[in-house]
Amino acid sequence: MSDERDERPEGEGGIETPEDAVVSHVLDAIRGGDTPDVVPAQSSTLGFAEFLAVEQELNRRWPETVMEPSLERISTLVDVLGEPHRGYPVVHLTGTNGKTSTARMVDAILSEVGLRTGRYTSPHLQRATERINIDNRPVTPERYVQIYRDVEPFLELVDVKEGVPLSKFEVLTAMAFSAFADAPVEAAIVEVGLGGRWDATNVADGSVAVITPIGLDHAEYLGTDILGIAREKAGIIKPGAVAVLAAQDKAVADVLLERCVEVDAQVAREGVEFGVREREIAVGGQRLELQGLGGTYDDIFLPLHGEHQANNAALALAAAEALVGAGPQQPLDADVVRAAFAGVLSPGRLERLAAGQGVPTVLADAAHNPHGARALAAALTTEFRFTRSSGCSG
């Protein structure tokens, strides 16, 4: 008589507990498919359970909403890890809105150019594995666990030495840097968690610093002084870097430019050195002509909605060009740029969840501040023709 347990995948034998059954059910519902943001089909119930256990361990640390103006703990941690953040050039992004979408676009372009990339963004929509990407795809739950186990022996050492335990975000940031060094990647795209100057990601010195539009957000942490917020975010612009700046209010732009002068950073400004030349709404997205640092790139299809995403595309193009040194004498291949943008995904950004004959269109968007809400409203009123609509927020 055959033993049913012997027919299970290796590592999944034994008597299944109620907890195992729940994990197995959840895993079956979310793994597989062609979308890169899902859990891979080969992920096991045991591997996913270990991933959930690691998340529980991380959640016992300071939450990501706790801020302290210090880079001492993360600096100590990356030092004992062998400075994994210094093994590759970094595109560092901050701003109020558009960071993750822009990061995804930069990643797409650099990957299409032929570079091996790492991408670190936050927060995640569904699973923490979305935060750490290699080759423009999230790491698997199993790899996430391994990355954590690799840094885990050093966490208590730093906790004791610094007197204040590392936060969850600091540990995740070190995990990302370590994963990128281990891959190894040829370029990293790193999104700030909150603010800029004192954010854990700022332990890295970005070769390219990208500042998306700055507005009011996280006022309980960053305050309501827009110029103070701009100065905080300008802290990611490092000596000798290229600062790629989205269009800003004049007073905000002045703060950013002052920082560039202070650290002798080169400057590329939306509306001056780069920008959107033409934009046309198309089925499933929009068709663009972009002015980059290396020239004009036309006939670009971007499968995302909203003028703000067109602006993000121009920002991402300039950032990618700056990293690889593209310019008028050596522009990026236009077909490479077109292919990169055509494959961009940005879940939770006017994402179509349902549509079809007799089915109401359901869109999901992560707008959570006044600037984001205005961009969402503009896109809904100019790119969709709904006769009746309703919305809910969470």
Res 18: pLDDT: 60
**Domain map (residue ranges) of the chain:** 72-342
Q: What gap in Å lies between CA 166 and CA 161, rounded to an integer? A: 11
Res 217: pLDDT: 60
DSSP character at residue 8: S
CA 64 to chain centroid: 16
Tell me the two tokens of residue 187: 């370029």
> Which of 142-151, 170-179, 208-217, 321-330 comes out lowest in average pLDDT?
208-217
C-beta atoms surrounding 231 within 10 Å: 17
Confidence band (pLDDT; 50, 70, 90) for 356? confident
Residues forming a β-bridge with 268: 244
- 172 has a pLDDT exceeding 90: yes
Residue recorded with tokens 């591997």: 47
pLDDT digits 0-9 by tens, 280-297? 999 999 999 999 999 999
Q: Residue 312's closest CA among 266, 267, 346, 348?
A: 346
> Who has greater pLDDT, 307 or 17?
307
Average per-residue pLDDT in the chain? 89
Residues forming a β-bridge with 267: 243
Res 39: pLDDT: 65
Tell me the two tokens of residue 308: 């703000």
Tell me the two tokens of residue 109: 């372009």
State the chain's maximal CA–CA distance in angstroms: 78
Using an 8 Å Cβ cutoff, are 121 and 136 in contact? no
Confidence band (pLDDT; 50, 70, 90) for 377? confident
Res 211: pLDDT: 98
Q: Helix, strand or coil for residue 127?
A: coil
Average pLDDT over residues 308-321: 98
Average pLDDT over residues 166-174: 97
Confidence band (pLDDT; 50, 70, 90) for 26? low
Confidence band (pLDDT; 50, 70, 90) for 103? very high
Res 72: pLDDT: 96
pTM, full prediction? 0.88
> Which of 34-43, 108-117, 361-370 comes out lowest in average pLDDT?
34-43
- Environment class of residue 335 by beta-carbon count within 10 Å: exposed (0-12), middle (13-18) or buried (19+)? exposed
User: Which secondary-structure segment (H or E) carries 279?
Assistant: strand 275-282
User: Which secondary-structure segment (H or E) carries 62?
Assistant: none
pLDDT digits 0-9 by tens, 187-243? 999 999 998 999 999 999 999 999 999 987 655 556 678 999 999 999 999 999 999
From residue 151, give the alpha-carbon distance in Å to each of 86, 132, 173, 175, 282: 17, 15, 11, 7, 46
What CATH homologous superfamily does 72-342 map to?
Mur-like, catalytic domain (3.40.1190.10)
From residue 127, give the alpha-carbon distance in Å to each of 37, 124, 132, 200, 237: 9, 6, 11, 21, 30
> Which of 142-151, 185-194, 289-298, 378-387 comes out lowest in average pLDDT?
378-387
Residues forming a β-bridge with 133: 119, 138
Res 43: pLDDT: 74
pLDDT digits 0-9 by tens, 57-72? 999 999 877 777 899 9
Res 370: pLDDT: 75
Res 160: pLDDT: 95
pLDDT digits 0-9 by tens, 30-39? 665 556 666 6
Res 8: pLDDT: 41
> Which of 4-8, 199-203, 266-270 comes out lowest in average pLDDT?
4-8
DSSP character at residue 128: G
